[in-house]
Amino acid sequence: MLSDDFGWVYLAALAGAVLIGAVLPVLPTGAAVSAGAVLASHSNPIGLVGVLIAGAGGAYVGDLIVYAGCRAGGEKLAQRVGWLRNNASLDALRIRLAEHEITVLLTSRLIPGGRVPVLLAAGLAGYRWHRFAVVDLISSSLWAVVYMAIGLLGYALFPKPWQGVVAAIALVLLTTVVSSMIQRWRKKSAAAKQPTGEPVTD
């Protein structure tokens, strides 16, 4: 059983926070999972399994809700709710999905700002529900494992729980910033290589 310091109530709150953050992009869901991994490691290591299930489960249900909304309401709803950034290239995503659908769906959660545009592109393309449900379950689990690993790194670096949590959050922010910079650099490089007037497809 889980200890009093790290119990079912905490895991339920974690799952709820990740779910809400997946549907309404206002909460740092990755940081929540990383912090949960730190606290579980200090309180009850078996709780790491609970963090994985809570994080992946919340992310998975949130993705299903967003995907359903994207399929029903399309691009206008995604922009109204704040799911979609104005500079997202849906045409390019449709091409990438057609060419590398599994890879794109699996990695979309690991790219800052990449999840919802991919879900929307898949929804508009009529991607089959049961296939999406299977692939996204793997994607959500992979995402939870990655952010748990970041939390475990914070746990390994600092002896006190609060220090590990702060370190984990800082690592998440650093990872997000670096990833965003790499994405911008790739887009600029791809745009520079494209002849004038042709769309960027990567």
Domain ranges in the chain? 8-191
143-163 confidence digits (pLDDT tens): 999 889 888 888 777 666 656
Average pLDDT over residues 171-189: 61
CB 155, CB 41: distance < 8 Å: yes
Is the pLDDT at 196 greater than 60, yes or no? Answer: no
Q: Is the pTM of this model over 0.75?
A: no
Q: Which of these, 128, 118, 129, 124, lies nearest to 74 by C-alpha position?
A: 124
